[in-house]
């Protein structure tokens, strides 16, 4: 598979595209409005402890308190010793953090969640002793999503190019993707000899074959970061940011620029020099793969990315067979409907349905990565009668999901043709990064019909007529509502005036939404809409 990293830079935005065989596979965006905060470390203060849901909320200075689940609580006792210089040489514990091993979509390494959490449950006492007002060092593991604040963990991990440093942990782990046993043993022995007592590390896949000097250089850099965190904590008053992780562009280069990537193409000279310098220092053998794009044609247009980028915002995704996917996001889950399109009218229904479902399975796994959709996902495939065919679709999805670096769980197809998936959610979806809820429909995609608004106005006038404090009122509405109200000599508003013995002055106001209206009373000199609402 041919992989490339294409970076498009403007004054206020960097867009980083990962392509596989010329097709867009992943996309990252960095802008002042969408600042990345996963990996940042804060000195926070416990705002609330809720044993019922086994979680606490931590004030880290954001508009919403951070969510800390008890399963993500690590070395609290060891953290306390950071405030007392005399205790620095004491033996730290070995509480296992939710340590990252593979990088996630936003540049911070993704935890091997299931195994890591199970180890933490086995090694940590059942009860987590957190008190309201207690200061605690936490690291952001998931960005805020909708009405939910960021998720944090107290087990800190600092990712580098080849290693992930884990303070308060004496273990050395190796990436499962590193298959060579001898190389695993060499790396483990080398890294263990470099680590001070009480520190642990995870050796990343990209470390394979790298000389000891580069590993030592990477580890020294991580130790410097940890020392800066220790200095920032001592004397600090919570809540405060004590460590800022790399920006999106740098973290993508750090985590994703591996042997499988043929080249990085950058269209900005300054950014090109920064990327080149970083790769030159960390992986000099790969520095020649960095290229500066000089053509006048926009780089995303040149590589065919812009057209695919625009398609991310549509709900409908066409398949080559003529079928299509319909992707709908809700508060609780994402639903994907597979439709057969022109295949529906053809013969051999089971075979055609299988072909469409297999093609859909491949495209769905790509769309999940591309749009960075996380949480619960339910897919409604075209119905299949043969159980063997259902298993083929399931196996195809499992195979394609091996490309995804996020943690994914997929269940076999049910008798109703549904496949349920959970995908690790770290950041907002790409669509949410570029858009916001419509102020008119509040994100529902639907607005109240004109007739409904007209009926609401009529009912309001009837209520007013039963207890009116004047016979003249002013109605301000959107022009789209004013027109049917006043159309014709014997208009709808005229009939209401006669029926309810009131005089209504209709004033078109384009600043009022089409599903809203406002009544004013000249007699009392104020708006009276709420006075006669149901």
Asked if residues 117 and 98 have their Cβ atoms less than 8 Å apart, the reply is: yes
List, in sequence order, every beta strand (DSSP E) within 175-237: 200-203
SS3 435: coil
Alpha-carbon span 253 to 16, nearest angstrom: 10
CA distance 266 to 275: 9
Are residues 296 and 346 in contact, defined by beta-carbon separation less than 8 angstroms?
no
pLDDT computed for residue 314 by the predictor: 81
Of the candidates 439, 382, 448, the one whose C-alpha atom is nearest the C-alpha of residue 416 is 382
Q: How far apart are CA 226 and CA 243, in angstroms?
A: 9
Q: Which residues pair with 327 in a beta bridge?
A: 336
Q: What is the pLDDT of residues 172-220, one digit of tens each?
A: 889 888 888 899 999 999 999 999 888 999 999 888 888 899 899 999 9
**pLDDT score of 424:** 84
- Which tokens sit at 291? 């290229």
Helical spans, DSSP H, in 64-210 = 76-80, 113-123, 181-194
- pLDDT for position 524: 82
Asked if residues 199 and 165 have their Cβ atoms less than 8 Å apart, the reply is yes
pLDDT at position 525: 85
- Distance (Å, rounded) from C-alpha 40 to C-alpha 240? 11
* Contacts for 512 with CB less than 8 Å, ≥ 6 apart: 476, 477, 478, 518
Q: What's the pLDDT at 22?
A: 87
pLDDT (0 to 100) of residue 114 = 42
* Spatial distance between the Cα atoms of 17 and 172, rounded to a whole number of angstroms: 33
Per-residue pLDDT tens listing for the chain (534 residues): 789 999 988 877 788 899 988 888 888 887 766 677 888 999 999 999 998 899 999 999 998 999 999 888 875 545 544 444 333 333 333 333 333 343 333 443 443 444 444 444 444 444 678 889 999 999 998 888 767 888 999 888 999 989 999 988 888 889 888 888 899 999 999 999 999 888 999 999 888 888 899 899 999 999 999 999 988 888 888 899 998 888 778 888 888 888 888 999 999 899 899 889 888 888 888 889 999 999 988 899 889 888 887 777 788 999 988 889 999 988 789 999 999 876 554 557 888 899 999 999 999 999 998 888 888 999 999 999 989 999 999 999 999 998 888 889 999 999 888 999 999 876 666 666 666 667 777 666 777 888 889 989 998 998 888 876 778 999 999 999 999 999 988 899 999 999 989 999 999 999 998 889 999 998 888 998 988 886
pTM exceeds 0.75, yes or no: no
Q: Which helix (H) or strand (E) holds 248?
A: helix 248-256
b or e along 357-385 (b: 16 or more beta carbons within 10 Å of the residue's beta carbon)? bbbbbebbbbbbbbbbbbbebbbebbebe
What pLDDT is stored for residue 104 in this prediction? 38
**What does the alpha-carbon distance between residue 211 and residue 191 come to, in Å, rounded to a whole number?**
11
Could you tell me the maximum CA-CA distance found in the chain, to the nearest angstrom? 94
- E strand map for 52-192: 55-59, 66-69, 100-103, 109-111, 135-142, 151-153, 158-159, 163-166, 172-174
The whole-number pLDDT of residue 246 equals 81
Which of 328, 326, 322, 318 lies closest to 353 in space, CA to CA? 322
Q: How far is the C-alpha of 315 from the C-alpha of 77, rounded, in Å?
A: 49
Helical axes 269-282 vs 248-256, angle rounded to 10°: 40
What's the token pair of residue 230? Answer: 């220790």
> What pLDDT does residue 125 have?
44
CA dihedral 120, 122, 123, 127 (to 10 degrees): 80
Parallel, antiparallel, or unpaired for β 375-380 and 334-339?
A: parallel
């Amino acid at each position: 598979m041919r992989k490339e990293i294409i970076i498009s830079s403007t004054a206020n935005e960097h867009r980083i595209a990962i392509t596989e065989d010329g097709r867009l596979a992943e996309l990252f965006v960095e802008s002042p409005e969408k600042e990345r905060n996963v990996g940042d470390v804060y000195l926070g203060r416990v705002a609330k402890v809720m044993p019922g849901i086994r979680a606490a909320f931590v004030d880290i200075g954001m508009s919403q308190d951070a969510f800390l689940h008890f399963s993500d609580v690590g070395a609290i006792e060891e953290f306390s010793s950071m405030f007392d210089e005399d205790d620095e040489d004491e033996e730290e514990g070995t509480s296992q953090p939710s340590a990252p091993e593979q990088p996630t979509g936003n540049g911070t390494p993704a935890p091997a969640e299931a195994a890591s959490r199970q180890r933490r449950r086995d090694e940590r006492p059942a009860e987590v002793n957190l008190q309201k007002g207690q200061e605690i060092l936490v690291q952001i593991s998931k960005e805020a999503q909708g009405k939910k604040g960021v998720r944090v963990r107290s087990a800190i991990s600092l990712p580098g190019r080849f290693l992930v440093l884990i303070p308060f942990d004496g273990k050395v782990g190796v990436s499962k993707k590193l298959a060579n046993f001898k190389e695993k043993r060499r790396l483990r022995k080398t890294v263990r000899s470099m680590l001070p007592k009480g520190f642990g590390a995870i050796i990343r896949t990209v470390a394979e074959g790298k000389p000891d000097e580069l590993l030592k250089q990477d580890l020294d850099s991580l130790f410097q970061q940890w020392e800066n965190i220790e200095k920032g904590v001592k004397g600090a008053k919570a809540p405060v940011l004590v460590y800022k992780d790399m920006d999106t562009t740098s973290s993508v280069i750090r985590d994703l620029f591996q042997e499988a990537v043929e080249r990085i193409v950058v269209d900005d000279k300054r950014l090109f020099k920064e990327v080149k310098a970083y790769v030159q220092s960390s992986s000099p053998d790969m520095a020649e793969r960095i290229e500066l794009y000089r053509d006048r044609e926009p780089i995303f247009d040149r590589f065919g990315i812009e057209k695919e980028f625009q398609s991310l915002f549509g709900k409908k995704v066409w398949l080559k067979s003529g079928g299509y996917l319909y992707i709908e996001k809700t508060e609780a889950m994402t639903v994907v409907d597979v439709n057969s399109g022109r295949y529906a009218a053809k013969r051999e229904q089971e075979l055609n349905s299988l072909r469409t479902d297999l093609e859909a399975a491949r495209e769905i796994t790509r769309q999940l990565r591309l749009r960075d959709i996380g949480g619960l996902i339910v897919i409604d495939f075209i119905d299949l009668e043969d159980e063997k065919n259902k298993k083929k679709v399931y196996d195809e999805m499992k195979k394609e999901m091996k490309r995804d670096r996020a943690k994914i769980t997929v269940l076999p197809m049910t008798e109703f043709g549904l496949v349920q998936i959970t995908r690790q959610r770290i950041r907002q979806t790409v669509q949410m990064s570029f858009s916001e809820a419509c102020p008119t429909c509040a994100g529902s995609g639907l607005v109240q019909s004109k007739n409904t608004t007209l009926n609401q106005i009529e009912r309001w006038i009837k209520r007013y007529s039963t207890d009116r404090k004047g016979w003249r009122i002013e109605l301000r509405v959107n022009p789209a509502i004013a027109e049917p109200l006043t159309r014709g000599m014997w208009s709808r508003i005229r009939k209401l005036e006669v029926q309810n013995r009131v005089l209504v002055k209709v004033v078109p106001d384009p600043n009022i939404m089409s599903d809203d209206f406002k009544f004013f009373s000249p007699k009392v000199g104020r708006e009276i809409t709420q006075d006669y609402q149901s």
